[in-house]
Amino acid sequence: EAGVTQFPSHSVIEKGQTVTLRCDPISGHDNLYWYRRVMGKEIKFLLHFVKESKQDESGMPNNRFLAERTGGTYSTLKVQPAELEDSGVYFCASSRLAYEQYFGPGTRLTVT
Amino acid sequence: SQQGEEDPQALSIQEGENATMNCSYKTSINNLQWYRQNSGRGLVHLILIRSNEREKHSGRLRVTLDTSKKSSSLLITASRAADTASYFCATDVRTDKLIFGTGTRLQVFP
């Protein structure tokens, strides 16, 4: 069974540019989560999809971040415009059961 | 508010020694989980302990949970160089989202 995949693995962009991160969950997993780890701090929850619906987006930092999951399969997280403090590692996870989350390798975002 | 805090922040040991990491949290939980992250890779789920459990074993891993103290410990016995990684505890309260601690960086020297 293929695991959670994320693309790209690393992205370097300039402040003010736009970046779109993609996550492909494990097939059959209705739950999809985004987390991020900024500046070596703790990993923080961003949002949770159940199929294509946003179940909880309480962790989204501001309106520069937009997450979508059209069709309930893969998800994208767009940052527009990117700021320096957005640099970090963005993790995606999926699950069939709520607490058994399987994480992808993460996308390292560097904003210069 | 930060839910989990790991202690120590960094730990260096020799192969064969045991490594103990601690995690404290602030609110009541449903489950507590431990994850490992190897450099540049994703989070790997290690073990889950439910709030009504006190101890759990998985191979060389032993996890304890003390809900009265709101703390958990992860013990890795007979450590190996391949155990070098960052270790995170994560709790879930009533929702699906996991709340992570800051992690412990473990370095195991051959």
* A and B: number of Cβ contacts within 8 A: 64
Composition of chain B by helix, strand, coil, percent to 5 = 5, 55, 40
Residue B101, pLDDT score: 87
Percent of chain B with pLDDT over 90: 69
Are A100 and B92 within 8 A, CB to CB?
no
For chain A, say whether B9 makes contact (Cβ under 8 Å).
Answer: no
- Cα–Cα dist B79/A69, whole Å: 41
Question: B30 — contact with chain A (CB < 8 Å)?
Answer: yes
User: What tens-digit pLDDT sequence spans chain A (112 residues)?
Assistant: 679 999 999 999 999 999 999 999 999 999 999 999 987 788 999 999 999 999 999 999 999 999 999 888 999 999 999 999 999 999 999 998 766 788 999 999 999 9
User: Of residues A52 and B102, which shows the higher confidence score?
Assistant: A52
**Which residues does residue B10 pair with via DSSP β-bridges, in sequence order?**
B105
Please give the backbone phi and psi of residue A23, each rounded to the nearest 5 degrees, phi first.
-135, 130
Give the tens place of pLDDT for each residue, B4-47. Answer: 678 888 999 999 999 999 999 988 888 999 999 987 678 899 99
Mutate one of A47, A48, A53, A99 to test the B interface: name it (highest B CB count within 10 A): A99
Residue A93 host element (H or E): strand A88-95
Q: Please give the pLDDT value at position B95.
A: 65
Which residues of chain A lie closer than 8 angstroms to B46, CB-CB? none
Confidence of residue B1 (pLDDT cuts 50, 70, 90): very low
Residue B85, chain A, CB below 8 Å: the answer is no
| Contact check, Cβ <8 Å, B42/A104 | yes
Cβ contact A93:B37 at 8 Å: no
pLDDT at B93: 75
Distance CA(B28)–CA(B20), nearest Å, equals 23
The burial of B53, by beta-carbon neighbours within 10 Å (0-12 exposed, 13-18 middle, 19 or more buried), is given as middle
pLDDT digits (tens, 9 = 90+) for A72-85: 899 999 999 999 99
Cβ-based neighbour number of residue A86 at 10 Å: 21
Three-state DSSP state, B105: strand
Residues 55-84 of B with CB under 8 A from A: none
Q: What is the pLDDT of residue B2?
A: 47
